[in-house]
Amino acid sequence: MVIVFDIGNTNIKMGVFDGDELLHTLRMASANKTGDEYWLLIKDMLAVKDISPRDVEGVIISSVNPNLNYTFEHMVKTYFGIKPLTVGAGLKCGLDIKYDNPKELGADRVAGCVGAYKLYGAPCIVIDCGTATTFNVISAKGELLGGAISFGLKAASESLSDAAARLPKVELSVPKSAIGRTTITNMQSGIIFGYSGMIESMVARLKKESGLADAKVIATGGISDIVNKCVSVIDVVDRTLTLRGLNIIYQLNKK
């Protein structure tokens, strides 16, 4: 079995794979915990699923949170007895990255693009709706051409209520209409439909500029299901895309 960790700014996502099959997932907060504390959470989850740490043959990590890199690497070495692979320079990913400086590209974006390219084909546009919203464009030849980074829906909603004293925090649910008749529905309309308009506009621009009019659009991330209800440009929603991409990268690099 292989365990993959996607360490983000808000959450840490973990997947357990047997070959290509994703058996189990776990989500933890990206909190200020020690490696021992994270291990207790992970050990309990594995025990519930009747998985022994001895069954784990490999671990791979992608991280955009440098504060947790050593914590997880040390935890994996200590409790699994394995030196983990870390997504970055030196690992094969199966894509030709056209970034001016490939080291600037987030490991989670690489993993998501690998998953999209291998599972759904290319050309494609990968949208990750997380703490930030990232857009990635992949050509039919497997070239990661670049993309864009914008605000995340949850962060935008929280910043609005934080900046305006009389505006409350609202649930991120799709309102019945764009014309709201309460402060809550006004905010939900502006936040969710406004964000959805940004998604549609960016996809149209990326397709036009790249010349990839037939590019399939794959969305992932915590709020991708919400966004998909409000737009017509998304072809596939796969919330496990990054985890699956990490498993593919592991298989490409395992000895």
Residues taking part in catalysis: 108
| CA distance readout (Å), 214 to 46, 127, 197, 207, 228 | 42, 16, 20, 8, 19
Q: 3-state DSSP call for residue 239?
A: coil
Q: What is the DSSP string of 150-182?
A: EE-HHHHHHHHHHHSTTPPP------S-SS-SS
Q: 3-state DSSP call for residue 235?
A: coil
Sign of CA dihedral 173, 177, 179, 181: negative
